[in-house]
């Protein structure tokens, strides 16, 4: 890789995302405002719109104008901004949700990526406790990321723009939450995208390419994070590449003569506009020859991958209602169509106080009795960062090596959050605070699953003042139930669900704290030992297949270390 390829106009790479959001707020104060102190939740300047469904999107940075470029009139209401190619946290999503809620509920509309799904689902749990109804639609337009019959597992890429446009128009005309969701889903179902990559992107913090291509090569079907495509070979002409796109897309959408479509030719960040128009030229000729009417065409950069060279083609098969909604006026800092009324920003005095604490600003209940659970957790959590290197090494052999930092930063965040609660805090509010703090500290899949599990346990133990051994079993069962529901794992898949289920069963036969602690640790140790000879069947560890046999599951070991710390502090 040459020095020229590594050149970027940035300051400190670690500050890249925060400086970008600050820049947008400074440049477009009439369009956008921050909805959180860290400026990772942004909303349109006039949000919330009373009586209208809010639309919140989000995802990793590095894709402008996707995602935050489509916050505006007739589009999305708010956005949560993650680090480059990384999910935003659940609390950032929740902050955007609160600021977008005009009383009619909020639609979550974003791409089909695991980390985003876990964190948006957790955010839905957080705001549900505050009385905000949400619904979700995932963009799944990337045609080569999964075969026919598995459309729901496809990635969401540039075609998500169409769903922002139609759903935003539906919200503006006053549709209820179910109606806006139906429009968004109908749009997603009728959209297909295919792309080609010609050169990699360079992550600001890493300074290294996300993939490599030999001179004169192209990769067809590549994802916007550099995920592998379905074909790598010599670079073809614009017409040949476009014909590849159309062969796949038209085979699935199969528009009949006289039907209308919308066309989106998208540049991935470093492709000249002239080349995008060459792609459109071929699309126009082929569709016209088929008798298909091009109702609208969009040509430019709509979903990028920093400086990746390449392009994608999206087609939306229209019905009369979708065509009308697509035609509606819209405006954001990155997109304008038709005439919209001037924005009337919400007066500063009417903007709710930003809530950046781990309780989400929720009022906590007090029992009048010192919480033994709070004191126990504060002490035990202080020990977990010492296991960061052990967990990192275990995870590096089976996954991406981030579990050590996830557990370490999460434990520290939860401990600080609990210290900020009253000593007599209600058990359910303690669990709720812990769940939000752990998930928000490091928005990984493990953190999101633990967080959503604790939130579910909080809801299930709302009637618990002090925690007995029986209550501990109930809490663990609730956590396990939600982890299984949201993560999709089953017993024996070699995930930390195995440990949770074993511990819940062991706790159900205990009556005092010391016996419960000993039984929990014994059950966890036994499960870690028994499952290490299994092949991992879920998560990143499943990708290494048989190489996972003989290795302990890192998440299960993390739970074991936590239980050991608790046991050592129970007399």
pLDDT tens, residue by residue, 340-394: 988 777 665 455 544 444 544 457 899 899 999 999 999 999 999 999 999 999 9
**Pairing mode, if any, of strands 260-267 and 293-300?**
parallel
Please report how many Cα atoms fall inside a 13 Å half-sphere around the Cα of residue 274, on the Cβ side: 0
Catalytic residue among 28, 63, 101, 225: 225
Residue-level pLDDT at 547: 84
Residue-level pLDDT at 463: 82
Residue-level pLDDT at 492: 95
Q: Say how many residues make up the chain.
A: 571
Sheet containing 41-44: give its strands across. Answer: 32-34, 41-44, 78-84, 54-61, 106-111, 134-139
Distance CA 150, CA 148 (A): 5
Residue-level pLDDT at 227: 75
Residue-level pLDDT at 445: 85
Q: Mean pLDDT over residues 54-71, rounded?
A: 96
Q: Mean pLDDT over residues 272-301, rounded?
A: 98
CA 63 to the chain's CA centroid: 14
- What does the block give as tokens for 528? 């870690």
Do the beta carbons of residue 439 and residue 450 sit within 8 Å?
Answer: yes
* Residue 225 annotated among the catalytic residues of the structure: yes
CB atoms within 10 A of CB 370: 12
Residue-level pLDDT at 333: 96
Distance CA 93, CA 297 (A): 32
Residue-level pLDDT at 1: 39
- What does the block give as tokens for 332? 């954001």
Distance CA 568, CA 564 (A): 6
Residue-level pLDDT at 40: 96
Distance CA 179, CA 198 (A): 40
Q: Which of 158, 241, 166, 259 is nearest to 197 (CA)?
A: 241
Q: Mean pLDDT over residues 24-31, rounded?
A: 96
Do the beta carbons of residue 526 and residue 465 sit within 8 Å?
Answer: no
Q: Mean pLDDT over residues 9-28, rounded?
A: 94
Distance CA 366, CA 475 (A): 19
Residue-level pLDDT at 129: 84
Q: Mean pLDDT over residues 317-324, rounded?
A: 98
182-216 pLDDT tens trace: 999 999 999 999 999 998 887 786 666 777 888 89
Say if residue 313 is preceded by a cis peptide, omega within 30 of 0: no
Place of tokens 């419960």: 516
Q: What sign for the dihedral angle of Cα 207, 213, 218, 224?
A: negative
Question: What are 109's strand-pairing partners?
Answer: 137
387-425 pLDDT tens trace: 999 999 999 888 778 899 999 999 999 999 999 999 999
Q: Mean pLDDT over residues 493-507, rounded?
A: 96
């Amino acid at each position: 890789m040459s020095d020229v390829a590594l050149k970027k106009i940035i300051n400190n790479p670690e500050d890249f995302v925060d400086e970008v959001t600050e820049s947008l707020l400074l440049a477009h104060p009439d369009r956008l405002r921050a909805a959180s102190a860290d400026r990772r939740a942004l909303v349109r300047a006039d949000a919330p719109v009373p009586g209208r469904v809010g639309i919140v999107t989000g995802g990793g940075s590095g894709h402008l104008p996707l995602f935050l470029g489509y916050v505006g009139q007739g589009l999305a209401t708010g956005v949560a901004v993650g680090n480059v190619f990384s999910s935003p946290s659940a609390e950032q999503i929740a902050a955007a949700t609160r600021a977008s809620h005009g009383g009619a509920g909020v639609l979550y509309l974003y791409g089909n990526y695991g980390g985003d799904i876990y964190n948006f689902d957790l955010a839905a749990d957080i705001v549900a406790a505050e009385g905000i109804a949400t619904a979700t639609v995932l963009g799944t337009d990337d045609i080569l990321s999964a075969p026919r019959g598995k459309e729901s597992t496809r990635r969401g890429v540039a075609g998500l723009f169409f769903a922002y446009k139609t759903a935003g128009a539906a919200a503006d005309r006053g549709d209820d939450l179910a109606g806006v969701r139906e429009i968004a889903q109908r749009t997603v179902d009728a959209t297909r995208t295919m792309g080609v990559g010609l050169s990699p992107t360079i992550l600001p913090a890493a300074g290294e390419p996300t993939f490599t291509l030999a001179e004169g090569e192209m990769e067809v079907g590549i994802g916007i994070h550099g995920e592998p495509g379905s074909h790598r070979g010599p670079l073809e002409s614009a017409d040949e590449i476009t014909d590849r796109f159309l062969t796949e897309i038209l085979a699935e959408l199969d528009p009949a003569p006289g039907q209308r479509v919308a066309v989106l030719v998208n540049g991935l960040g470093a492709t000249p506009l002239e080349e995008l128009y060459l792609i459109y030229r071929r699309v126009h000729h082929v569709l016209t020859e088929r008798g298909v009417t091009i109702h609208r065409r969009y040509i430019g950069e709509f979903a990028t991958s920093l400086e990746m060279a390449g392009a994608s083609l999206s087609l939306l098969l229209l019905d009369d209602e979708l065509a009308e909604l697509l035609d509606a006026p819209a405006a954001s800092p990155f997109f304008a169509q038709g005439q919209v009324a001037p924005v009337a920003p919400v007066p500063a005095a009417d903007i709710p106080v930003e809530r950046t604490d781990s309780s989400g600003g929720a009022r906590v209940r007090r029992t009048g009795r010192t919480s033994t659970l709070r004191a126990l957790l504060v002490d035990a959590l202080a020990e977990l960062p010492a296991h960061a290197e052990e967990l990192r090494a275990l995870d590096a052999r089976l996954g991406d090596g981030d579990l050590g930092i996830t557990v370490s930063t999460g434990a520290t965040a939860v401990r600080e959050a609990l210290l900020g609660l009253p000593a007599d805090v209600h058990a359910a509010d303690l669990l709720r605070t812990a769940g939000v703090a752990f998930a928000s500290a490091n928005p990984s899949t493990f953190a999101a699953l633990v967080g959503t599990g604790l939130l579910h346990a909080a809801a299930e133990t709302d009637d618990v003042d002090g925690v007995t051994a029986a209550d501990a079993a109930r809490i663990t069962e609730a956590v396990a139930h939600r982890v299984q529901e949201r993560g999709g794992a089953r017993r024996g898949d070699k995930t930390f669900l195995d440990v949770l289920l074993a511990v819940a069963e062991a706790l159900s036969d205990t009556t005092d704290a010391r016996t419960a602690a000993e039984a929990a640790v014994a059950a966890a140790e036994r499960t870690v030992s028994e499952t290490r000879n299994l092949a991992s069947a879920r998560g990143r560890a499943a990708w290494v297949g048989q190489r996972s046999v003989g290795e302990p599951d890192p998440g299960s070991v993390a739970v074991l270390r936590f239980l050991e710390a608790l046991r050592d502090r129970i007399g």
